[in-house]
Structure 1
Amino acid sequence: MRVVLAPDSFKGTLDAAAAAEALATGWRRRRPDDDVRTVPLADGGEGTLEALGHDLPDAAWRTAAVTGPDGRPVDAAWLLRPDGTAVVEMARAAGLPLLAQPDPLGATTRGLGQLLAAVVGDPAVERVVLTLGGSATTDGGTGALAALGARFTDAEGADLPPGGGALTRLASVDLSGLVPPPPGGVQCLVDVTAPLLGRLGAAGQFGPQKGADPGQVALLDAGLARLAELLGGDVAAPGAGAAGGTAYGFAAAWGAEFVSGATAVATAAGLDDVLIGAGLVVTGEGQFDAQSLRGKVVGNLLDRAAAAGVPVAVVAGRVGEGDLPVRRVLSLTDLAGSPAAAMTDPARWLTVAGERLAAEEFAPRG
Structure 2
Amino acid sequence: MKFLIAPDSFKGSLTAKEAAIAIATGLKRVYPQADYEVVPMADGGEGTVQSLVDATGGKIMTANVHQPLGEIVRAEYGLLGNSKTAVIEMAAASGIQYINEETRNPLLTSTYGTGELIRAALDQNVDQIIIGLGGSATVDGGAGMAQALGARLLSSAGQEIQPGGGGLADLDHIDITALDSRLQQTKIIIASDVTNPLTGKSGAATVFGPQKGATARMIAQLDQNLHHFAMIVNRDLGRNLEFTPGSGAAGGLGFGLLALTNAEMRQGIEIVTEYSHLAEKAVGSDYVFTGEGGMDFQTKFGKTPYGVAKVAKKVVPTAPVIALTGKIGHGAASLYEEGFIDAIFSTPNGAKSLTQAIREAKADVALVAENIARLIKMQ
| TM superposition score normalised by structure 1 | 0.90
Detail structure 1 runs of 4+ shifted over 6 Å in the superposition: none
> Secondary structure of the residue that 2:259 maps to in structure 1?
helix
Output one character per residue of 1:67-124: Cα deviation in whole Å (capped at 9) or x when no partner. Answer: 11121211122222324222222121111113344333322111111222222234x3
> Secondary structure of the residue that 1:149 maps to in structure 2?
coil
Change (3 A) 1:52 1:28: same
Change (3 A) 1:60 1:314: closer
In the alignment, the residues of structure 2 paired with residue 36 and residue 64 of structure 1 have an alpha-carbon distance, to the nearest angstrom, of: 35
Output one character per residue of 1:211-238: Cα deviation in whole Å (capped at 9) or x when no partner. Answer: 3333333332222222111113323333
Contact 2:206 2:219 (C-alpha < 8 Å) held by counterparts: yes
In the alignment, the residues of structure 2 paired with residue 295 and residue 34 of structure 1 have an alpha-carbon distance, to the nearest angstrom, of: 30
Equivalent residue for 2:152? 151
Contact 1:336 1:349 (C-alpha < 8 Å) held by counterparts: no
In the alignment, the residues of structure 1 paired with residue 243 and residue 309 of structure 2 have an alpha-carbon distance, to the nearest angstrom, of: 27
1:111 aligns with 2:113: yes
Among 182, 187, 197, the residue aligned to 2:189? 187
1:97 aligns with 2:97: yes
What amino acid is the match of 1:96? I
Among 241, 245, 260, the residue aligned to 1:238? 245
1:137 aligns with 2:138: yes
1:268 aligns with 2:268: no
What amino acid is the match of 2:97? P
What amino acid is the match of 2:148? A
In the alignment, the residues of structure 2 paired with residue 356 and residue 165 of structure 1 have an alpha-carbon distance, to the nearest angstrom, of: 56
Among 341, 360, 373, the residue aligned to 1:345? 360
> Secondary structure of the residue that 2:92 maps to in structure 1?
helix
In the alignment, the residues of structure 1 paired with residue 111 and residue 356 of structure 2 have an alpha-carbon distance, to the nearest angstrom, of: 36
Change (3 A) 1:87 1:340: same
Contact 2:111 2:144 (C-alpha < 8 Å) held by counterparts: yes
In the alignment, the residues of structure 2 paired with residue 108 and residue 334 of structure 1 have an alpha-carbon distance, to the nearest angstrom, of: 43
- After the TM superposition, which of the residue ranges 191-200 and 64-73 deviates more from structure 2? 191-200
Contact 1:290 1:320 (C-alpha < 8 Å) held by counterparts: yes
Deviation at 1:22, TM superposition (A): 1.4
Deviation at 1:336, TM superposition (A): 5.1
Equivalent residue for 2:286? 279
In the alignment, the residues of structure 2 paired with residue 251 and residue 314 of structure 1 have an alpha-carbon distance, to the nearest angstrom, of: 35
Equivalent residue for 1:171? 172
Contact 1:312 1:327 (C-alpha < 8 Å) held by counterparts: yes
Contact 2:189 2:264 (C-alpha < 8 Å) held by counterparts: yes
Unaligned runs of 5+ in 1: none
1:17 aligns with 2:17: yes
Output one character per residue of 1:271-293: Cα deviation in whole Å (capped at 9) or x when no partner. Answer: 11222222222211222112221
Q: How many residues align?
A: 362
Equivalent residue for 1:324? 335
Output one character per residue of 1:319-340: Cα deviation in whole Å (capped at 9) or x when no partner. Answer: 2112232322222346454444
Deviation at 1:158, TM superposition (A): 2.9
Contact 1:67 1:93 (C-alpha < 8 Å) held by counterparts: yes
In the alignment, the residues of structure 2 paired with residue 274 and residue 364 of structure 1 have an alpha-carbon distance, to the nearest angstrom, of: 26
Output one character per residue of 1:148-183: Cα deviation in whole Å (capped at 9) or x when no partner. Answer: 111223343332221123323333222222112062
Unaligned runs of 5+ in 2: 235-239
In the alignment, the residues of structure 1 paired with residue 219 and residue 375 of structure 2 have an alpha-carbon distance, to the nearest angstrom, of: 49
Contact 2:292 2:325 (C-alpha < 8 Å) held by counterparts: yes
Change (3 A) 1:345 1:64: same
| TM superposition score normalised by structure 2 | 0.87
> Secondary structure of the residue that 1:278 maps to in structure 2?
coil
Contact 2:348 2:361 (C-alpha < 8 Å) held by counterparts: no
In the alignment, the residues of structure 1 paired with residue 306 and residue 200 of structure 2 have an alpha-carbon distance, to the nearest angstrom, of: 26
Change (3 A) 1:340 1:155: same
Change (3 A) 1:12 1:174: farther
In the alignment, the residues of structure 1 paired with residue 9 and residue 19 of structure 2 have an alpha-carbon distance, to the nearest angstrom, of: 7
Among 207, 214, 217, the residue aligned to 1:215? 217
Equivalent residue for 2:237? none
Equivalent residue for 1:306? 313
